[in-house]
Amino acid sequence: MSAGTPGESIARAGLLRVATAGSVDDGKSTLIGRLLYDTKSILEDTLAAVERDSLRRGMDEMNLALLTDGLRAEREQGITIDVAYRYFATPHRTFVLADTPGHVQYTRNMVTGASTADVAVVLVDARKGVVEQSRRHASIAALLGTPHVVLAINKMDLVGWDEATFDAIALDFAEVADRLGIREFTAIPMCALRGDNVVDESTNMPWYEGRTLLDHLETVEVASSHDYEHLRFPVQYVILAPDQRRYAGQVAGGVLRPGDEVVALPSGLRTKVTAVYAADDAWLDQAYPPQSVSVTLADELDVGRGDMLAAAEPAEGRPAVTQELTATVCWMNEKPLAAGARYALKHTTRSARAVVTEVLDRLDLQDLERLPAEGLSLNEIGQIALRTTVALVVDPFTRNRVTGRFILVDEATNATAGAGMILA
């Protein structure tokens, strides 16, 4: 059974993961509600419930934001405090939408929503332009390597559909994007409340000649979000059978085929892949990200959870085996990060303990300058150096978004303390 080529699989699946972010009241939930409503992706009973809630609140029209503000606290306060996921499909593509919070104290939720996104939609209020939260969300999208960024300039009706306002905000964001290393972005003027340029083209802004948001999301190329060149297969667990031993996991990079000569890391032992199996035990002639498969090897090696299979040649294409890391971290813990602090570290399928050897800098989100720092406080972003108790098999995050990231866990509370993107 053939899995096809990576490009063919993506075309068949047509799945796009989208994270929306912006400041409070910029219209994130309304935008997602509009996408769901105008693509007729809402069940009748859900629509009826939203209509009842809108009437109960004294609203003349249905409040589309209620489609995503599912938590009771959100409904009562009219804000988003958790990551709300919604799914819908068009004839061209299937979408997973993550509505992430706008409040600064929920930055960690933005990291969660954007960590697997193919597209980050950063909303700004046309009346306010690019604010600190806009820069924060753009920074996270850049740090997480989100392949595509959309600047959704919302509430254009409240500035008289003014082209000059749109141009000024797009230019301001372009400066931010350039300093963050975001190579390109797409700016779209819209009014989520009315539906202008969300699904349907707006007649109120004839000066805009670009695509609507849905048109853009349906046609954006997502194949580049995976690394198909460098084989990475973190072993999750070993399946023991009377006649064979299989190693199961999710392909994190490259293409895995029977007959491939691989090296098991960190041990460095070489062997060959003899077979690749799908979850239903069907034999595959190739597998690629993000497929979950199991493999058999030609030799009986001591390979287990936390080890990684990589292509044996060329040697320079292998991941690094190291206990010393330099990384960018988004700090999510109320207890500040400081040099000397110890945490549990989780990277792919391997767990270790780590000590922060140095806090290198902190990103000032006001002017995007990197400043010397002795520590990082809640929701701050900076660069740190770590040393781990065991060797990790890693890549720079810019090469591989799976093998290049990790989380730090507070061992006292078992809470996620920080999300890290490996630099070197």
Low-confidence ranges of the chain (pLDDT < 70): 1-13, 24, 43-48, 50-51, 54, 58-84, 100-115, 223-225
Integer CA distances (angstroms), 290 to 196, 232, 401, in order: 35, 11, 12
How is residue 25 written in tokens? Answer: 């009241």
pLDDT at 233: 98
pLDDT at 290: 87
How is residue 299 written in tokens? Answer: 């030799």
Of the candidate CATH numbers 3.40.50.300, 2.40.30.10, 3.30.930.10, 3.90.550.10, the domain formed by 232-317 belongs to 2.40.30.10
d(CA 210, CA 78): 32
Q: Which residues contact 5 (CB under 8 A, 6 or more apart)?
A: none
Say how many C-beta atoms besides its own lie within 10 A of residue 268's C-beta.
10
The domain spans of the chain are 6-225, 232-317, 320-422
How many CA atoms lie within 13 Å of 79's alpha carbon, on the beta-carbon side?
Answer: 12
User: Using one digit for the tens of pLDDT, what is the confidence trace for 107-139?
Assistant: 555 666 566 788 999 999 999 999 988 888 888
Say how many C-beta atoms besides its own lie within 10 A of residue 115's C-beta.
19
Does CATH number 1.10.1380.10 belong to domain 6-225? no
Please state the separation of Cα 251 from the chain's center in Å. 17
d(CA 172, CA 407): 32
Q: Is 238 helix (H, G, I), strand (E, B) or coil?
A: strand
User: Using one digit for the tens of pLDDT, what is the confidence trace for 6-21?
Assistant: 444 443 347 888 888 8
**What single-letter amino acid sits at 268?**
G
Asked if omega into 290 is within 30° of 0 (cis), the reply is yes
Please state the separation of Cα 115 from the chain's center in Å. 2
d(CA 395, CA 293): 21
Integer CA distances (angstroms), 217 to 84, 145, 268, 328, in order: 19, 18, 42, 29
How is residue 251 written in tokens? Answer: 């392909």
Burial of 233 (0-12, 13-18, 19+ CB in 10 A): buried
Q: Which residues contact 222 (CB under 8 A, 6 or more apart)?
A: 10, 16, 118, 119, 147, 148
Whether residue 284 contacts residue 3, with contact meaning beta carbons closer than 8 Å, is answered with yes
Q: Which of 264, 151, 255, 156 is nearest to 202 (CA)?
A: 156
DSSP β-ladder status, 269-277 and 261-265: antiparallel
Say how many C-beta atoms besides its own lie within 10 A of residue 134's C-beta.
25
DSSP letter at 53 equals: H
Domains 6-225 and 320-422 share a fold: no
Q: Which residues contact 159 (CB under 8 A, 6 or more apart)?
A: 126, 127, 165
Whether residue 225 contacts residue 10, with contact meaning beta carbons closer than 8 Å, is answered with no
d(CA 256, CA 293): 10
pLDDT at 264: 97
How is residue 15 written in tokens? Answer: 């799945």
Fold of 320-422: Elongation Factor Tu (Ef-tu); domain 3 (2.40.30)
pTM for the structure as a whole: 0.77
pLDDT at 250: 96
What residues does 125 pair with on adjacent strands?
Answer: 154
